[in-house]
Structure 1
Amino acid sequence: MAKRSAPEINAGSMADIAFLLLIFFLVTTTIDKDKGLLRQLPPPIDENAPPPPKIKDKNLFIVLVNRNNDLLVEGELMELKDLKQAAIDFLDNGGAPRGGEIAYCDYCQGERNPSSSDNPDKAIISLTSDRLTDYDMYVAVQNELGAAYNYLRDREAQRLFGWKYTEKNASLTQMSSDAQREKAKEQLKQIRDLFPFILTEAEAKQN
């Protein structure tokens, strides 16, 4: 009796099937994006630098998030949706009077309340969170504070240059010429100097 040869497996077809399965996996699988905050870290502290000047209480905007994710602003409970406007009111207050020791903010449009911040470059936001604060809540608070700065910077960029700060900043890499890019960088810095991002974060506490 003649021996029957074993059928050979078509390796080429197996490779095609594996490739199709890989494509199917890539198309149908949802990959979660990491959450995070884009921040430029401050430079190292110079040990020989003089101590920083004392901060007036009125120039400090205190934001606290406790372990229950409650938001307290200046010691009072606040809804997250109200944080952006509260920060805008503080940063844009311009309470320093004309001819005083501290520079008068002629572009500020706030209430000029003498018991609130003197000038945007004196206005400091202090954020403290509990170690048990949900990360999503922490990020949401940071986003609202960042949105307050972006709102004010957009307003001043519109007034001075006719465009929004956030849009121009996002389009830097798409500019066709180095000269155009450098001009935009100078203008963006001018806007940032009007409302400098001054946010301090105390070490998370276990309350």
Structure 2
Amino acid sequence: MARDKKSAPEVNAGSMADIAFLLLIFFLVTTTIDADKGITVKLPPWSEEPPDPTKLNERNVFSVLVNANDQLLVRDEPADINNLRERAKEFIANPQGREDLAATPTKAIISLKNDRGTTYKAYLNVYNELKAAYDELWDEESQRMYGVPYSDALTTDQKNAIKKKIPFVLSEAEPTSFGDED
């Protein structure tokens, strides 16, 4: 059979689809995708029963409100985020035994409420400051009890003993409508 001078040589592409499919499978299997972890919060178990309407002692509640303009109201007074951590630590520990602060660290409750118009950045900043207050209190208690920082070489039992003395209690209320800070 004579070859036509105008026809171009052909490449057999029959196995190209198989190769592309195998490469696709390889990259899907070997690629890792990092997922955002977000804020780690342990939620209470779901219950069909209505909550106990126990009236809390206002002395033991450190209320933090963040309005739509990202402004803070701490215990019904305007506040600045720069001193929120220290105020929270003082409230929880109550080193002077003041009557207007928490009776004991085990009874202290931090109540965080935000507006639907609050920016995510402001919410995270406030949450981080409140969490940092607990972290610092745990570290101080660890230094006092064991002579080492909280994050270093403590056993799980030692960490649990500290958290039993200073439990992390942060209550987050339902956000209010935009501009309605009550």
* TM-score category (smaller protein): 0.7 to 0.9
Shift of 1:139: 1.4
2:164 is the alignment partner of 1:193 = yes
Shift of 1:34: 3.8
2:136 is the alignment partner of 1:151 = yes
Where structure 2 has 5 or more consecutive residues not aligned to the other structure, the ranges are 14-18, 28-32
Work out whether residues 36 and 139 of structure 1, in 8 Å CA contact, stay in contact via their aligned partners in 2: no
| Aligned residue number for residue 16 of structure 2 | none
Instruction: Show structure 1 runs of 4+ deviating over 4 A.
Output: 7-11
Larger radius of gyration: 2
| Aligned residue number for residue 54 of structure 1 | 55
How many residue pairs get aligned? The number is: 162
Taking a change above 3 Å as real, the CA distance of residues 167 and 78 of structure 1, as seen in their structure-2 partners, is farther
Where structure 1 has 5 or more consecutive residues not aligned to the other structure, the ranges are 24-30, 94-109, 170-183
CA RMSD of aligned residues (A): 3.0
Cα deviation per residue 1:9-35 (whole Å; 9 max; x = unaligned)? 698xxx8xxx9xxx9xxxxxxx99747
Shift of 1:43: 2.4
- TM-score, normalised relative to structure 2: 0.75
Give the Cα–Cα distance (whole angstroms) in 2 for the partners of residues 7 and 137 of structure 1. Answer: 66
- What letter matches 1:202 in structure 2? A
| Aligned residue number for residue 118 of structure 1 | 103
SS in 2 for 1:165: coil
| Aligned residue number for residue 68 of structure 2 | 67
Identity, in percent, stands at 41
| Aligned residue number for residue 99 of structure 1 | none
Structure with greater proportional helix content: 1
Give the Cα–Cα distance (whole angstroms) in 1 for the partners of residues 71 and 129 of structure 2. Answer: 15
- TM-score, normalised relative to structure 1: 0.67
